[in-house]
Every structure is written in C-alpha cells, then in structure tokens.
C-alpha cells in the first residue's frame, strides 16, 4: 500500500517539474487520511499554495450543480423523463441541423423533445459555443450570446435568460441519440432557478455551502477571495510558466448575474473535500443531511448506451461511463485501483475529484494551468490515493 509520504513525494515532483503548485486531500469516514500542499499559487509574489488557496473549479462546478438540482428532484419539483419544455416552453419542438448529400444544411423537427435527463447526461444535442465553428448549432449559439451581451451587457444576464434564448438554436442530433459535452448543465442550472425561485448561487449556498460550512466556495467574491486565488499559468513548450488571464475571471466580480452550471465556481481543497465526503457517506456530513443515499446512487449510475460510451471514452476515461453529470467507474479495466461505482469529474485547469461511496472515501486534487495535463497528474494521484486504503 502507499503512504502519506508517497503522496508528498508525488506532489513535490509535480510542483518541481510540472506545475507551479498543487494540493491534495484524501478523506474516509469524515476523517482526513492525507492533506498536503506544494509549490506556489503566485510565483512572482512568492505566495505558496496552502489550505486557503482558491482554485477555479471550471467543470468541477458540474458535480455541485447536478447535486443541487437533484435535491429539487427529491422534493418532487421535476422528474427526469419530463420534457424540458415543461419548464422552458420555447424548447418544445426543437429542430435538428442535418447535413444533406449536396453539402447544405437541412433543419428538420427533432424526433422527440429534449427530456430533463438529456440535459443532465449531455445527450441534448448542444455543445459549448465554438466561436470559430461552422456548424449551424455553433453559429446559432454564438449569435444568441452576442445578442444577450448587446442587450444586457456581458455576463449581465441570468443563465435562465440564456437558456430561454438558446431554444431557437438547432441541435446537432436528435435528443438522446449521442453523447456530446456541452451546454446541458447550463440547462440544469436554469432548471434550478425555475424550480426553486432562486438564483443558482443563492440556492447552492442555502442548500449545500452553508450547511456544510463551505465558506470559501462561490460564484462571486465577497471578501478576500480575489487575493487568495491561485494565478492561472500557461505552461510554455520549454516548461516555463506564463501568467494568463483567468478564463471567466470577470464573472467572479460582485454584482455579476451570470451563474452557469457547467463552470463558474471557485473553491479550496478543504471545502471541496467536505462536499465530496458528504457524497461518499450517503449524503451526510458532520450530522448534516444534504441529499439521500439512493439519489447519490442514481447520480452515479451509468446512463449511456454502447454508442454513447464509445463517444464518451478515451484513455483518460478508460472504464468509465457517465451518469447525471459525473463520470462513473463501470470496469476498472486493468488500469485503475479505484472501485466500481467510484465517480467524479475534472476541471479544465487541472482540478479533479474521486468519490467512492463503497469505501466512504474521497480524494480531491487541484492545480490551475493550461494545458492541464490531466492524464499525467490525475491517474497518478488516483493510484496513490486509493493505495492509502487499508
């Protein structure tokens, strides 16, 4: 088995040779098996990574947002097979952009409406907007974002307003037919707003952050968070680090309305570790129940068919399926020492989590760089973290 020293040595190597700074927390049954930090959050200022350092979660926001939405599912606010148009009527009778034999695009009615389940598991047919994409879906999504910015100001509209406007955009494929990473979790966030009558951030604060004591997690700066944020670095080809403006950092400023479901939260390791331990221990942490055990099992159940699994998997996701917003281990496949049913996700700048209800175990790792080199770092952290289990 591995030891805490092995994790120390791994993080030391990362911070010496691969990233400016990083941290990791491993927990089981509410107790910390390992907590360690290495390197710098700000190289020029000499600020080291520590327990207070904040990281951009980017897509690890999705795990929190989908958990929040499923709290509303447990309260009967929606069903997963409901048409999404029951909540946002503009999404009824969506169109699909289909390429014809002569190279032109045909807009035809979708075979069925998008269901709530489709937006959770990335089967709704909408990618993220691609500014340079030539597909009618890309141009349509770009046009909607531009129109919203012109009408309200950049990021000065809600995710519900964005989702309402996106209903006019043609889909890439019929709902449920394929897996395509993208806009679905913005639609989940809008569902939270519609069903709760609250903004996404306010709902998550009330239902998850405050009960769990996650005081360093949010969409917007409220105190010293800006000063605690890790600098986002670009790793140059020669291995040097160059500060770069944080993607979407402007959304962290107070008063910004846009709170997306797919990316947007910041956090530190301790806060996110508490959240993951809640999920690993049946929805309860420190006596506070957030969500039901059976709903967590639903969250981490594979929802993809064989065609969608082939579209989803790569060497980084070997053995995994996809549930309601999380990867979920189906078969360790000779490459992982984790547990079938283990689940989690990754953030674009290097954050990662693994949550294992069978062992009441979770691990959280964070750095903030582009490229994130996720396969190199996360697979090694996973191996050492699961080696800590007796």
DSSP secondary structure, 263-318, as one string: S--EE-HHHHHHHHHHHHTTTEETTEE-S-HHHHHHHTS----HHHHHHH--STTT
Tokens representing residue 269 in the block? 């390791």
How confident is the model at residue 350, as a pLDDT?
Answer: 98
Beta bridge partners of 320: 329
| Contact (Cβ atoms closer than 8 angstroms) between residue 53 and residue 227 | no
How confident is the model at residue 102, as a pLDDT?
Answer: 87
How confident is the model at residue 210, as a pLDDT?
Answer: 98
| Exposure of 309 in the CB half-sphere (CA atoms within 13 A) | 13
User: Residue with structure tokens 């069978």?
Assistant: 358
Taking Cα atoms as reference points, which of 21, 43, 65, 11 lies closest to residue 385? Answer: 11
pTM: 0.97
All domains in the chain, ordered by first residue: 4-72+199-387 (3.40.710.10), 78-195 (no CATH)
How confident is the model at residue 245, as a pLDDT?
Answer: 86
How confident is the model at residue 54, as a pLDDT?
Answer: 98
Tokens representing residue 40 in the block? 């710098």
SS3 category, 367:
coil
Q: Give Cα separations from 56 to 74, 96, 117, 286, 357 (angstroms).
A: 29, 34, 27, 26, 25
Taking Cα atoms as reference points, which of 224, 199, 219, 300 lies closest to residue 263? Answer: 219
Taking Cα atoms as reference points, which of 350, 338, 353 lies closest to residue 374? Answer: 350
How confident is the model at residue 231, as a pLDDT?
Answer: 98
| Exposure of 211 in the CB half-sphere (CA atoms within 13 A) | 18
How confident is the chain (390 residues) per 10-residue block, as mean pLDDT?
96 98 98 98 98 98 98 98 98 95 92 98 95 90 97 97 98 98 98 98 98 98 97 97 93 97 98 98 97 98 97 96 98 90 98 98 98 97 97
The dihedral region occupied by 241, where left means phi > 0, alpha psi between -120 and 50, and beta the remainder, is beta
| Contact (Cβ atoms closer than 8 angstroms) between residue 91 and residue 114 | yes
How confident is the model at residue 132, as a pLDDT?
Answer: 83
Strand segments (E) across the chain? 21-28, 31-42, 47-48, 55-56, 95-99, 105-109, 233-235, 241-243, 266-267, 284-285, 288-289, 320-322, 327-329, 343-346, 352-356, 361-366, 369-370
> Distance between CA 353 and CA 200 in Å, rounded?
22
> Distance between CA 38 and CA 149 in Å, rounded?
40
């Amino acid at each position: 088995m591995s030891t805490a020293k092995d994790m120390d040595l791994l993080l030391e190597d990362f911070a010496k040779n691969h990233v400016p700074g990083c941290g990791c927390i491993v927990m089981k049954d509410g107790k910390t098996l390992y907590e360690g930090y290495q390197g710098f959050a700000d190289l020029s200022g000499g600020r080291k990574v520590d327990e207070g350092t904040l990281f951009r979660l980017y897509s690890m926001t999705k795990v929190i947002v989908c958990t929040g939405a499923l709290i509303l599912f447990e309260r009967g606010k929606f069903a997963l097979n409901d048409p999404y148009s029951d909540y946002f009527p503009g999404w009824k009778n969506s169109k699909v952009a289909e390429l014809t034999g002569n190279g032109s695009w045909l807009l035809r009615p979708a075979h069925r409406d998008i269901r709530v389940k489709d937006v959770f598991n990335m089967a709704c047919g909408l990618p993220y907007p691609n500014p340079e994409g030539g597909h009618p879906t890309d141009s349509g999504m770009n046009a909607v974002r531009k129109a919203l910015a012109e009408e309200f100001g950049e990021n000065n509209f809600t995710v519900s307003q964005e989702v309402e406007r996106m209903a006019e955009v043609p889909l890439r494929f019929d709902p449920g037919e394929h897996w395509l990473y993208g806009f679905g979790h913005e639609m989940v966030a809008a569902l939270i707003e519609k069903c709760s009558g609250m903004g996404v951030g306010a709902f998550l604060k009330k239902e998850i952050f405050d009960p769990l004591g996650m005081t360093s997690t949010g969409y917007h700066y409220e105190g010293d968070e800006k000063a605690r944020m890790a600098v986002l670095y670009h790793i140059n080809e020669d291995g040097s680090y160059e500060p770069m403006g944080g993607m979407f950092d402007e959304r962290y400023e107070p008063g910004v309305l846009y709170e997306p479901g797919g990316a947007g939260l910041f956090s530190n390791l301790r806060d996110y570790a508490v959240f993951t331990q809640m999920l690993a221990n049946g929805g309860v942490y420190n006596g506070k129940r957030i969500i039901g055990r059976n709903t967590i099992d639903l969250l981490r159940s594979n929802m993809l068919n064989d065609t969608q699994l082939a579209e989803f998997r790569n060497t980084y996701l070997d053995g995994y399926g996809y549930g309601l917003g999380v990867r979920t281990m189906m078969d360790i496949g000779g490459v992982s020492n984790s547990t079938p049913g283990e689940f989690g996700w990754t953030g674009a700048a290097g954050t990662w989590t693994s949550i294992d209800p069978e062992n009441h175990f979770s691990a959280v790792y964070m750095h903030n760089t582009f490229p994130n080199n996720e396969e190199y770092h996360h697979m090694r952290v996973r191996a050492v973290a699961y080696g800590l289990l007796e």
